[in-house]
Amino acid sequence: MSEQQGYSEGFSQDTIEDPQVDYFGFARSLRHYLPDNITWVEFEVMNEGKKSKFQKATQRSLTIKKGSGDASTSLDQAAERHALILESLTDWNLKRRGSSIPFNKGQALRDFLELADPQVIEGIELAIRKANPWLLGEMSSEDIQQQIDELGDLLVIAQERERGEASSASK
């Protein structure tokens, strides 16, 4: 047999381990635990299809004024955050008023996005962005600085809370 047929003479394809990667099999799910460390949401790292769908849902329009050359773009951060979460989440173990809520990408997820603590939603968004590094490239330096500022504020609050817990425990 010739090498043009896919393998060299004297070897059969069955005995050679195929080092080629299956690039169609890209699927990875991760869990993000909410502040109680019991409740979690599960999301998938985006493949090209999900990335494309998310980008189409959040495309920005750019307007350039002919005379002045000024450019403007519209950005709806909430819509982008919700689209990212809607596209990525695949499961959860959430409870509402003591009852488990079955996961679905319909009304239950939309209710969660509308009614949940914004810090919880932002934590989910950050976990998804970290798992999809290409998303971090789409964040502006202002967006990143805003998140750094928010995390700094959260750090101060957590440190104050921990100091308060430590001082009340010693009484």
Alpha helices in 58-117 (DSSP H): 77-88, 107-115
DSSP state of 140: -
Three state DSSP letters for 2-31: CHHHCCCCCCCCCCCCCCCCCCCCCCCEEE
Cα(76)–Cα(30) distance, integer angstroms: 26
Check residue 98 and report its DSSP letter: T
Tell me the C-alpha distance between 44 and 52, whole Å. Answer: 14
Task: Note the pLDDT of residue 58.
Answer: 78
Per-residue pLDDT, 3: 47
Closest CA to 108 of 93, 128, 119: 93
Q: Indicate whether this model's pTM tops 0.85.
A: no
What is the pLDDT tens value at each position of the chain, 171 positions in all?
444 544 445 545 555 677 888 888 778 899 999 999 999 999 999 888 888 888 887 776 666 777 777 776 666 677 888 999 999 999 999 999 999 999 999 999 999 999 999 999 999 999 999 999 888 776 677 777 877 888 888 889 989 888 888 776 665
Q: What is the pLDDT of residue 116?
A: 95
| pLDDT in the model for residue 85 | 94
Distance, in Å, from the CA atom of 147 to the CA atom of 145, rounded to the nearest integer, reads 5
Number of Cβ within a 10 Å radius of residue 82: 19
Predicted pLDDT of residue 66? 75
